Structure 1
Amino acid sequence: MKKWVVAVIVLIALMCGAFWGMADKDLRRLVLNMPTDINVLFWDTAQRDAVFRTMDWVPLLSKSRIIEAGDTPYPLPEGSPLELDTNVDAFMESQRAAALIIVQDGKVRLERYGLEFGPEGRWTSFSVAKSFTSTLVGAALKDGYIDSLEDKVSAYIPDLRGSAYDNVTIWQLLTMTSGVAWNEDYADPQSDVALFNAHKADSGVDVTVSYMRQLKAEASPGAKWVYKTGETNLIGVLVSSATGKPLADYLSEKVWKPFGMEQDASWLLGSTGHEVSGCCVQASTRDFARFGLFLLGGGMIDGESVLPDGWISQATSKQVDIDKPGQGYGYQWWTLDDGAFMAKGIFGQAIFIDPKRNLVIASNGNWPQASDRQGATHGEERLAFFRQVQQAVDRESEP
């Protein structure tokens, strides 16, 4: 890379660092490991370590929009340490974890950090953002911007008319049962998930809509579940179209400010200026945990839920089968048959919520591979750890 390019990058990083209050060590890490390719799926480990904590500063990536926090943070008091039958340090090392927070009965029972990350930093969410986006669908329903989940998607996104999405409902988008063909292989540079963000949009059309409307159906709407990040991006376009508000602003209005998130967050934008709603909310791990508490508490703000009656129960229970015993998929939430549910993102991001145990676990990291689909077992190991946390809580309640 030419020296003048490095100098410009350093200047931009310093300016952004001053704005966000980023530590000098993170600036140095970013400059030394600045990726030259926009596609995160094919960065090396050092690049991911640097950028996951600075995603909204990287010149190669698109701009971001601020999700403003309020003035009074939701309290996270310290509780007694949770006695776990596992070596937490070894677990975090194996996971390449940047952060792990366990909140039970509203108190922090465990909080650890790694990869030279800390509570003041903000880590990217990847697909954890999908669950934020689906929650905004619920808010838009409650506010009257969306009439029904049975409405056709094309009624809110006219540029989809005449495509395979013409007869797909909002419910089918939320549950990823549109029947439209899609390849989510993170290891394949020719997969849809690797290509769609770099797509050159048709003139005057949102980049996601431009890409998605060229896809073909492989099944009738509602007949087949296939995980599709691009469809969550469509949901974000739909919510913004219905509300007339950017997603970041709507999330700030409905959750981030009134619930009491401690730090401003940010949401990356696609090339045509819309939030990449299937990905890429940068927030502190404590605020990810607070989002779990928001759901755990029924979405209540000042004594009233910002979500429709029954929304959380529907969104976080199995709506479709995913061919994994004991698991399912709701409205952009991964569901477990014991009543717990999760938001999950590639490379190790998660929010685990267990209403029965009044439990929230937020974790961030940088796995060596994007997901267990590439033959790794980091996701299985993480779920096993979450189960051990559940067991530890159960032991405390035994007489």
Structure 2
Amino acid sequence: MKTIIGLAAALALSAGGGACAQDALKPDTPSILAWSPEQQSLGYRTIEDFYKVNTIARGEQVRPLVMAPRQIDPTFTHDGKAWTVASYMEAFNVSGVLVLKDGDILLERYGMGRQPADRWTSFSVAKSLTSTLVGAAIQDGKIAGLNAPVTDYIPELAGSGYDGVTVRQLLMMSSGVKWNEDYTDPNSDVAQAGAAPVEAGLNPIVGYMRKLPRENAPGTTFNYNTGETDLVGILVANAVGMSLSDYASAKIWKPYGMERDAIWMVDTSGQERGGCCISMTLRDYGRVGQFMLEGGMAGDQAVLPAGWVSQATSRQIDNGAAGYGYFWWMNESGAYQASGIFGQSITTYRDDGLVIVINSAWPRATGPDLSAARSAFLDAVHAAATD
């Protein structure tokens, strides 16, 4: 199996920086993209000590995750070497692996000093949760539907390149608005957006992006755009009349039964970054995957519209790889994945009832060697879980 991080990884660094930058608590905080291994190990677990965050509150009830009678401990061969779960985790700085089959735990391991109650930051895995909150807002009647104009919910974009762009086209990363995500270019949009002058009373990412020109017809061309994922977060918050954290709490954390409050990094205006950085426990990552696998149901409550999960997690546009849904990546094996740099992923095999969570602190944001090793590991876990 080839993992779907593909194009997102190739575009590098898209999850962690630029766009509407996070708000550091101390002015001398180094970029999260350049943390040392020691800073990663501590900071990914305690992001609230470095950046401003909002809380996603859990509820009174916790959905149990029960150990399955059969536990797995797969081995595999990759790059001419035999691997175990333990050796893979040590070599690739993995802080947690969780495997759920039909909602029960087949494998749960921790590394790097992480404990079960410790959270870990998501990087771009947050994008997939943001798109899920769009579905919740449609179900609640707060967003008229996927074909609703973006300008209905962010009116400051009227008269810009976003005129005529729909919610669906944003979720497909196909607005047609010109955007350069090249992190090696100091003049790229992703580098400039976070440093743009702030207009009074206007979210800084909205202020930057409403000045961008149209390049392609909406809905025709995939163009990975972290700024637009932050825009989607603003759109949801405007539509529902509350913060993304409060809405995530009301729609998922409380009704589904997450075990610990999560935290969501905010930008310099105090708005949660729709494209980055929710911190949660390993088991709560698994519950996010299980929530999607169960069709967006929390008990007998339909949080998402009928058919939403199937549509969001299937190919909606050609991205030069296996396809892209609504902030979810497809792969050739039929799995879908939420992906974040430095080795974060929730990989779900819908036909097998299988969810695999990996949290890591890779030495680089991405790379073909890192992705290939994770693919081999996922293949081995999938084979062991479905044997």
Partner of 1:85: 75
Q: Distance in 2 between matches of 1:205 and 1:266?
A: 24
* Residue type of the alignment partner of 2:42: A
Residues 180-233 of structure 1 deviation map (CA, whole Å, 9 limit, x = unaligned) = 222333455544334433433211111211122222222221121011111111
Superposition TM-score, scaled by structure 1 size? 0.85
Matched, 1:355 2:347: no
* 1:298-317 alignment runs, 5 A limit: 298-317=295-314
What is the SS of the residue equivalent to 2:174? coil
Partner of 1:74: 63
1:328 paired residue among 323, 327, 334:
323
Contact 1:67 1:248 in 2 (8 A): yes
125-134 vs 34-43, which moves further: 34-43
What is the SS of the residue equivalent to 1:344? strand
Residues 328-374 of structure 1 deviation map (CA, whole Å, 9 limit, x = unaligned) = 110000012433110001111111111111111111111111123xx
Task: Return the offset for 1:310.
Answer: 0.5
Partner of 1:52: 44
* Residue type of the alignment partner of 1:55: I
Matched, 1:134 2:126: no
Task: Return the offset for 1:77.
Answer: 0.9
The percent of aligned pairs where both chains have the same amino acid is 45
* Residue type of the alignment partner of 1:56: E
Matched, 1:276 2:280: no
Matched, 1:218 2:212: no
157-166 vs 189-198, which moves further: 189-198
Q: Distance in 1 between matches of 2:294 and 2:59?
A: 19
Matched, 1:381 2:342: no
Contact 2:199 2:207 in 1 (8 A): yes
What is the SS of the residue equivalent to 1:351? strand
Let me know the Cα RMSD of the aligned residues: 1.7
Q: Distance in 1 between matches of 2:281 and 2:42?
A: 16
Greater helix share, structure number: 1
Change (3 A) 1:381 1:319: same
Q: Which has the larger radius of gyration?
A: 1
* Residue type of the alignment partner of 1:82: I
Partner of 1:184: 181
Task: Return the offset for 1:93.
Answer: 2.1
Q: Distance in 2 between matches of 1:47 and 1:35?
A: 16
* Residue type of the alignment partner of 1:81: Q
Partner of 1:27: none
Task: Return the offset for 1:45.
Answer: 3.0
Partner of 1:166: 163
Contact 1:37 1:43 in 2 (8 A): no
2:382 paired residue among 373, 377, 390:
390
Task: Return the offset for 1:105.
Answer: 1.9
* Residue type of the alignment partner of 2:360: G
Contact 2:312 2:326 in 1 (8 A): yes
Change (3 A) 1:40 1:118: same
Unaligned runs of 5+ in 2: 1-25, 77-83
Residues 120-163 of structure 1 deviation map (CA, whole Å, 9 limit, x = unaligned) = 11111110000110000000001100112111111110111122
Residues 21-71 of structure 1 deviation map (CA, whole Å, 9 limit, x = unaligned) = xxxxxxxxxxxxx9934532233333223211111221xx3x211100012
Task: Return the offset for 1:236.
Answer: 0.6
What is the SS of the residue equivalent to 1:41? helix
Change (3 A) 1:35 1:202: closer
Q: Distance in 1 between matches of 2:30 and 2:161?
A: 28
Partner of 1:253: 250
2:364 paired residue among 358, 364, 369:
369
45-54 vs 97-106, which moves further: 45-54
Contact 2:222 2:318 in 1 (8 A): yes
Task: Return the offset for 1:83.
Answer: 4.2
Partner of 1:41: 33
Task: Return the offset for 1:82.
Answer: 1.2
What is the SS of the residue equivalent to 1:172? helix
Which one has more relative contact order, counting CA pairs under 8 Å at least 6 apart?
A: 2
What is the SS of the residue equivalent to 1:377? helix
